[in-house]
Structure 1
Amino acid sequence: MEILDRYVEEAAELATSSLLNDSGGLTIQVQTLPDGTQEETLTTDFVSREVTRGFAVAFRQLYEPGESASFLKAYNAVARQARPQWGDDENWQALAQWRAAHGKLRAKPLKVLSSEKLFPDRGAIGVPGDGPPYPEEIISTYNYGDLIHWGSKRQELSALGRTEFDSAWNQLRFLEAVGGLSHLYIGFGGVVANILAED
């Protein structure tokens, strides 16, 4: 099936992305001065803007539901093919978990979901990045405020970068959002490849 072949190909390409395989990030150093005040130094080590822009275009092909070989279209194609064979067995339940995880990662950062799972009584209290902008919103803001189109979201993107810290922090949140979803897309690419190999 052409959609599934394309999905597997794009997921494999995403896995080799410099952005996903980079070890950079941001560091904040706080130093107490002799007079008792604190001085903060922010250091960022993100991949280049060119790499981020190229990644955003590749990521969009799997992320945006309307794209020809998006996660949603690939999932639906697998589900249509598998449902008659699997019924409600554990294979079908496992497949359904991929879609559920996709919805959760579009709504909340991976580290927040992990904290809620590990500490169900406490939830994500105190986890940096819990709160707006949520993954869907921040991805849309970066993609359509600058990376893919300098368009409808440019004012929102500008508001995310009022200070040097805000700019770096929100860029990190964007990278965390696309990183969590990318790993899901890559993993599902492996599932799809295995299904195709069985046919």
Structure 2
Amino acid sequence: MLDYVFGLPDPYVFPQIPLQGDDRALIQRYITMSRRLAGFSLINDDTTLSVGRYPGGDEWYVRVLGFPADESFLGASAAFRQLHNDGEPASFSNAHNALFKVMKSLPEEQQVTIRETVPLWRSARGKLMNHTIQTLTALKASNATLDNPVSFGNINPDELIRTFNYGDSLHFGDGRGQLDNLLADPFHEAYYKYSALISIVGLSHFYFGFAVLLDSALSGVS
């Protein structure tokens, strides 16, 4: 779906760049964490959202089938945060900025590649922060707008992930009141839990693609 929605340049052909010191270390860490997270069961599970009626009645239900075990969700949330949160040392933002930092010392042809390619990834990430990949796919496939009923159209992935992280998963902090409100109704609980899961998975796959680009920048020696 990422390729269909964004059509990003092939990360495997990104040129080698002479990254050194702390910049190289944080990029190597980003690649390492991406590989570790890619092996988590949560990233590769087959969780589904089921909506239907109970037999013999008019009452509806919303269920999450196959939701990951608690330790799986919490562990993946912690690993994901290292790539996602801008304040983390080896986050997407810091890895992105490291490429632009070293760009000034490169030949013009390599500078052009960075200037033309890396902002496309930053733009795609911004869109995935605001809408799930399922929503973006539906919008593109049907030429719809957010005024139309599209899958998970009311979900802001970044906000929802932070609400779960800081209301329960990582900290019992500022997000707990908002999370309580989201999960108070059983219908909403199933929907928002599933939405948080697909938000993490969608952004994770994007981060994995950027890790391939970074590995190419290091010439595959990470």
> TM-score normalized by structure 2?
0.80
Q: Does the residue aligned with 2:180 lie in a helix, a strand or coil?
A: helix
Determine helix, strand or coil for the equivalent of 1:152.
coil
Query: What's the CA shift for 1:139?
Result: 0.8
2:122 counterpart of 1:99: yes
Alignment partner, residue 112 of structure 2: 88
**Of residues 56, 69, 89 in structure 2, which corresponds to 1:48?**
69
Superimposed CA distance per residue, residues 154-187 of structure 1 (whole angstroms, 9 cap, x where no aligned partner)? 1100101122111110001111211111011111
Query: Which whole-Å deviations, capped at 9, do the CAs of 1:18-50 have from their partners, x for residues lacking one?
Result: 1111112221232563xxx52334443200111
Q: How many residues align?
A: 193
Q: 1:71-114 CA deviation, whole Å, 9 max, x = no partner?
A: 0001111222246342334x532221111111111111112222
Higher relative contact order (CA 8 A, sep 6+): 2
Work out the percentage of aligned pairs sharing the same amino acid: 31
Contact 2:61-2:187 at 8 Å conserved across structures: no
Q: Distance in 1 between matches of 2:63 and 2:185?
A: 14
Q: Which residue number in structure 2 is paired with residue 163 of structure 1? A: 185
Q: Distance in 1 between matches of 2:183 and 2:97?
A: 38
Q: Give the match's secondary structure for 2:112.
A: coil
Alpha carbons 1:115, 1:123 under 8 Å: kept = no
Alignment match, 1:58: 79
- Given residue 39 of structure 1, which amino acid in structure 2 is its aligned partner? E
- Return closer, same or farther for 1:118/1:94 CA change in 2, 3 Å cut-off: farther
Runs of 4+ in 1 over 3 A off after TM superposition: 82-85
Question: How far 1:198 sits from its partner (Å)?
Answer: 6.4
Q: CA deviation at 1:197?
A: 1.4
Query: Greater shift after overlay, 21-30 or 99-108?
Result: 21-30
- In the alignment, is residue 145 of structure 1 matched against residue 167 of structure 2? yes
- Give the corresponding residue for 1:194: 216
RMSD: 1.9
Query: Counterpart of 1:68 in 2: which secondary structure?
Result: coil
Q: Show structure 2 runs of 5+ residues with no match.
A: 1-23
Output the amino acid matched with 2:112: D
In 1, Cα distance between the equivalents of 2:126 and 2:194? 21
Alpha-carbon distance in 2 for matches of 1:67, 1:31: 46
Q: 2:59 aligns with which of 36, 39, 42?
A: 39
- Give the counterpart letter for 1:78 in structure 2: L
Letter in 1 for 2:59: E
1:198 and 1:176 mapped to 2: Cα distance?
A: 29
